[in-house]
Amino acid sequence: MMAACPACVAAPAAVELAQMANAVQLSVPSVRCAACISTIESHLSQVKGVVSARVNLTQKRVQIITDHPVSQMVDALGHIGYEAFPLASRALVNDVDPEGRDLLMRLGVAGFAMMNVMLLSVAVWSGASGATRDLFHLVSAAIALPVVLYSAQPFFRNALSALKVGRLNMDVPISLAIILAGGMSLFESLMGGEHAYFDAALSLTFFLLIGRYLEHSTRSAAHSAAKELAALEAHTAERQTETGSEIVPIDALKVGDIVLVASGMRVPTDGQLITQHGITDRSLLTGESEPVPHVASDQIHAGEVNLAGPVEVRVSAVGQDTRLHQIARLVETAENARNRYTSLADRAAQIYAPAVHLLAIITFAGWFLWTQDVRHALNIAIAVLIITCPCALGLAVPAVSTAAIARLYRMGFLVKSGTALERLSEVKTIVLDKTGTLTKPDFSFDLSAFHAEELGIAKALAQSSAHPLSQALNTYLSDQAPAKLTDIIEVSGCGVSGHLNQMEVALGKAEWLSPEQSGLILKIGEEVHALPFQEALRSGVPEMIRRLQAEAFDLEILSGDNAAKTSALARSLGLRRFRSEVSPEKKNARITELSAQSQYPCMIGDGLNDTIALANAHASIAPGEALDAARNAADVIVISDEMEKIPQVFAISRMAVALSRQNFGIAIAYNAVAIPIAVLGYATPLAAALAMSLSSVTVLLNAARVGYGK
């Protein structure tokens, strides 16, 4: 056979690496369904220079292989109505799950070996004796011992880590039972003993690996929100020099440098505005629903989006000193603090593990003093360890969590944290963000008092402006024919003007057109008309609020938006507690205050300004359209956009915790019956293995109850 050419073998990998070097990663929060995937991939594939485009619906990302700059790909998606944010590929978490694959492999090996050893054990239990029995025991040893050494390694490693620091965890009695069962079984087989524990050792390993894999599966969706914030940051900047401009990495910038930020691009670093006027969208940073106008010397921050023409910014902070990095550090601190939450299983282990060891030691000592037979005393002590091995306890929480998480997923909720259900069940106060959470990034208008000619003028002016409010008005008037205007000019930070024949018309903010009024103004000649508008409520929000109030939760709104909008929304929803113009740090401070009052707050938010609070809250929920960093800081993601179902998340969480406690009760009842039998020396290896398996199956069946329902 001819050997393959090394260059041919390496070629595909080289092509793949070359493509990945040109990969553009974009976060597209509004991707929701298969139709979105088809639309985006079809549109991008028609763009000249795009090699491929793939949408990841779960992560709401698009990966594009192209030589075009990121800004061009953002614009291409914007043309079909999808807002996109650049991400840095190198900063994103690797989606490969080697730990899950490893656990699944060990579980499969243990299950296969267990079935084979049990088949051999049937012959022994059926009456095989003498050389036949010894042969079956030795064959069982040849199968079981290598498998136990391989499959039980997760327990051995965790137990060793605990013992090194002088503490006990649930894996210590597990490891001791498995090792002693295997070792004593081998000794009995070589000495011609009647009983061996190989099947019990494998059963313990198999059932406990089920619990460990179920526990891992509830955590597998979790990512670091702090890393997602780093991915959101711009990673290059256009620095102005004496000879022109140059594209440089962010870490090459110094305080005092001047950078040019193109229209529609994210501000790469903190700094002062040099250009006379500018408009940025800082909703991701502060939650303000409307763009913010700026004048020269105003401070702007990394992460804001430039909505006006190109602007120049003098760098005032770089690297770890930017506001975006400060938020990322706070998020990381909050995540680490929440990870210290002690789960039900961990609290049980703190009591159960030392109790099992003490019982086994007392049993061994008692039987040795009674019989003076070390072998017999050790066999009974091992039987105690096996029959009390915490299989049921190991399955109690993971089995319920997995069933509950599966049910919530069918309802349209993705649970990402292993302890989320326990924390959600304890919540007393629910803190709500406004913009993007209770409201959509849309506006509704009351134009019933306007006639067709006026609406045509408004349409023509709105479609000529890049301002989000103008774009919302343009969409709202999609069926209206625009008037034929001339001399259309957009005045940065104010609005847009033009002429209808010889008459001047304008659309813009009240401060520009009619200072005595407020809001959005349409001016036609000397006539001034206010255009009433309000943010559109997200579907299902009123029903969600009503149900949460009926369940006696305390509700309050924390918004970065102004007082007028926040209070109007709170009144419309029947909420008395609200705070406006709240910074990310102040949101986090309020969450900390509620936690100190034992209110166990749950934060529901979607933006960068909510990320610290989401990570610091006792539990947290984010809409599916939320920013990547917010979704990854949250415990639960609403992937179905059915906000009215959120109260069921809390109800199912409480049910899951109740069933987990029932499972602990089952395990305790089992031990209350089994332990005396084992301590008195009546537990044979068969009885120990069957009793342990029966308790595990009972716990699994009880856990399945939480999965019933839609």
**Tokens found for residue 497:** 């003007």
Share of the chain above pLDDT 90, in %: 17
Tens-digit pLDDT profile for residues 610-623: 888 998 899 999 88
C-beta pairs of 610-613 under 8 Å, 24+ apart in sequence: 610/287, 610/433, 610/437, 610/584, 611/225, 611/229, 611/327, 611/331, 611/584, 612/327, 612/330, 612/331, 612/334, 612/584, 612/585, 612/587, 612/588, 613/431, 613/558, 613/584, 613/587, 613/588
**Torsion angle (degrees, nearest 10) of CA 14, 15, 16, 20:** 100
Tens-digit pLDDT profile for residues 586-602: 998 999 999 999 899 99
Judge contact between 537 and 518, C-beta under 8 A. Answer: no
> Which class would CATH give 447-531?
alpha beta
Mean pLDDT for the stretch of residues 233-254: 81
Which range in 167-171, 193-197, 583-587 is most confidently predicted, on average pLDDT?
A: 583-587
- What's the pLDDT at 125? 66
Q: How far apart are the first and last CA of the chain?
A: 58
More confident residue, 364 or 340: 364
Tens-digit pLDDT profile for residues 461-492: 988 887 777 888 888 888 888 999 988 888 76
**Tokens found for residue 593:** 């205050």
Query: What is the SS3 assignment for 621?
Result: strand
Judge contact between 55 and 61, C-beta under 8 A. Answer: yes
Q: Say how far apart CA 39 and CA 625 lie, in whole Å.
A: 17
Is residue 571 scored above 80 in pLDDT? yes
Q: Is it true that domain 15-87 has CATH number 3.30.70.100?
A: yes
Taken in order 504, 507, 508, 514, is the CA torsion positive or negative?
positive
More confident residue, 325 or 580: 580
Would the CATH topology of 402-440+538-654 be identical to that of 447-531? no
Share of the chain above pLDDT 70, in %: 81
- What's the pLDDT at 427? 95
Tens-digit pLDDT profile for residues 18-62: 344 457 778 776 676 666 787 888 888 888 888 888 887 656 778
Q: Is residue 17 very low, low, confident or very high in pLDDT (cuts 50, 70, 90)?
A: very low
Torsion-angle region of residue 36: left (phi > 0), alpha (psi -120 to 50) or beta?
A: alpha
Q: Which residue's entry shows tokens 């001339």?
A: 486
**Tokens found for residue 692:** 């342990």
Is residue 333 scored above 90 in pLDDT? no
Is residue 258 scored above 80 in pLDDT? yes
Judge contact between 655 and 627, C-beta under 8 A. Answer: no
Torsion-angle region of residue 636: left (phi > 0), alpha (psi -120 to 50) or beta?
A: beta
Q: For residue 602, what are the β-bridge partners?
A: 430, 619
Q: Say how far apart CA 42 and CA 46 lie, in whole Å.
A: 7
- What's the pLDDT at 334? 52
pTM here is: 0.62
From 3.10.180.10, 3.40.50.1000, 3.40.50.1980, 3.10.28.10, which CATH number describes the 402-440+538-654 domain?
A: 3.40.50.1000
Which residue ranges make up each domain of the chain?
Answer: 15-87, 98-217+341-400+655-707, 234-321, 402-440+538-654, 447-531
Q: Say how far apart CA 666 and CA 699 lie, in whole Å.
A: 7
Is residue 341 scored above 60 in pLDDT? no
- What's the pLDDT at 7? 38
Q: For residue 414, what are the β-bridge partners?
A: 637
- What's the pLDDT at 32? 62
What does the longest C-alpha to C-alpha distance in the chain come to? Answer: 115
Candidates 433, 606, 610, 635; catalytic one = 433
Mean pLDDT for the stretch of residues 341-369: 74
Q: Is residue 360 very low, low, confident or very high in pLDDT (cuts 50, 70, 90)?
A: confident
More confident residue, 264 or 186: 186
Contacts of 273 (CB under 8 A, 6+ apart): 294, 295, 296, 297, 298, 299, 300, 311, 312, 313
- What's the pLDDT at 237? 83
Mean pLDDT for the stretch of residues 445-455: 87
- What's the pLDDT at 106? 93
Q: Is residue 81 very low, low, confident or very high in pLDDT (cuts 50, 70, 90)?
A: confident
Taken in order 686, 692, 698, 704, is the CA torsion positive or negative?
negative
Active site residue 433: yes
Which range in 59-63, 266-270, 638-642 is most confidently predicted, on average pLDDT?
A: 266-270
Q: Is residue 11 very low, low, confident or very high in pLDDT (cuts 50, 70, 90)?
A: very low
Mean pLDDT for the stretch of residues 225-244: 68
Task: Supply the mean pLDDT for the chain.
Answer: 79
- What's the pLDDT at 346? 62
Q: Which 3-state string (H, E, C) describes 107-162? A: HHHHHHHHHHHHHHHHHHHCCCCHHHHHHHHHHHHHHHHHHHHHHCHHHHHHHHHH
From 1.10.287.3510, 3.40.50.620, 3.40.50.1580, 2.70.150.10, which CATH number describes the 234-321 domain?
A: 2.70.150.10
Is residue 518 scored above 70 in pLDDT? yes
Is residue 549 scored above 90 in pLDDT? yes
- Which one, of 382, 351, 358, lies nearest residue 678 by Cα? 382
Q: Which 3-state string (H, E, C) describes 543-562? A: HHHHHHHHCCCEEEEECCCC
Backbone phi, psi, residue 410, to 5°: -65, -30
Is residue 647 scored above 90 in pLDDT? yes
- What's the pLDDT at 246? 87
The continuous run of DSSP H or E covering 299 comes out as strand 299-300
Tens-digit pLDDT profile for residues 395-438: 677 778 778 877 887 888 878 776 788 899 999 999 999 888 89
